[in-house]
Structure 1
């Protein structure tokens, strides 16, 4: 893997799941642990350093209590934090394809509210870059960005357990639910990954193709090709 992708390798713990629904759920949150070289198939350890986990949740999410953690997980699992714009724009394209058999960019722009027309261009450019970098197939597009919130829910479950904001059963229930939702909205690991990637870069990258872009491109490439990757041995 190229150094510019900021990915060193795939890490797993032998005691964690490698098969079954729980492993699938963890694999739906794998982008981030792969990016930072942490195990993809486990919750964070509440014994090791729960104060550090709490500090990270407070800094990154504004989560400082168990109740706040639960609220945030629920928001992610109900896609309540997904911006309306990308969903509306992607819904319009799906509707065009379903009703008229076309993804024509001009028709697509006409099908969205005026204030969302610039977003059509942003998504089109990201998808072109995804295709060039192998995140999408040559004729591929992204149908949903919900996968980003579902993947984030998996990682919030990891961190919440490590911060002692929930017990193992509660955290694993969130991981399982995220996996179920990903299966509902996507057809394959590649399809899910592209949706996760677009959701992330639309929020944070601002067409810079910088760190935020690399933080999804590198994990995507590794997870799609490494023989030990859960995406290579777990059915979606």
Structure 2
């Protein structure tokens, strides 16, 4: 649901919201419209792009009916589409930090092994988690080097990737005439509420959204997928007209 090229343009709809809960919700989904040069604070206009939006939903998500659209929205808002295992790993790290004040990779992997023993997890699951911990550490280091995270920043949750996509699912659902305006607006507002509940700041949320995306698609290649989230995130953190600089996070 984005352009093939690397665009990254911050576009605002003059009649769209710029402040308040609805603007906050739209701002949570801003990565994708920025990357595709669409307005961050507006739904897709069904009169202008209904069939195009439907074709894109079918190609990218396998969605061709209103019921399928609703199922995907519900899964995204529940944080069940992506990253549940990653959030478990991040919680294990937070537990270590709460006890010891810090958590390096060996300590994190030790906590994973202890969790595996306690849960009688299959060895391959534990091995996969220990590998994933290393991948997360390396991505966070790159995020800090690229300014996506502060110098001492860590990602707290990747649920934001689902919530941000839920906002865009609302944009596309309305544009494809799979829902009415009220349902789309309700989805945007709910996603914004969930982001506020899980994160502490726009930067915290941006790191979670970015990690969720690259873990799913980038495979430590730091290629187009990485750039497609890094560019918009940088704009959101630094561009003078960015909603993240004007809309209070909480």
Q: Taking structure 1 as the reference length, what is the TM-score of the superposition?
A: 0.96
Partner of 1:110: 110
Q: Does 1:164 align with 2:177?
A: yes
Q: Does 1:217 align with 2:230?
A: yes
Q: Does 1:132 align with 2:132?
A: no
Partner of 1:182: 195
Which of 110, 123, 139 is the aligned partner of 2:136?
123
Please tell me whether the aligned partners of residues 7 and 219 of structure 1 are also in contact (alpha carbons under 8 angstroms).
no
Runs (4+) of structure 1 exceeding 6 A deviation are none
Partner of 1:24: 24
Cα separation, 2, equivalents of 1:186 and 1:222? 19
Cα separation, 2, equivalents of 1:85 and 1:177? 23
**Superposition CA RMSD, Å:** 1.2
Q: Taking structure 2 as the reference length, what is the TM-score of the superposition?
A: 0.90
Please tell me whether the aligned partners of residues 11 and 39 of structure 1 are also in contact (alpha carbons under 8 angstroms).
yes
Please tell me whether the aligned partners of residues 131 and 140 of structure 1 are also in contact (alpha carbons under 8 angstroms).
yes
Size of the alignment, in residue pairs? 232
Q: Does 1:150 align with 2:163?
A: yes
Q: Unmatched 5+ residue regions in structure 1?
A: none
Q: Secondary structure at the match of 2:47?
A: coil
Cα separation, 1, equivalents of 2:45 and 2:104? 49
Q: Pick closer, same or farther for the CA change 1:44–1:222 going to 2, 3 Å.
A: same
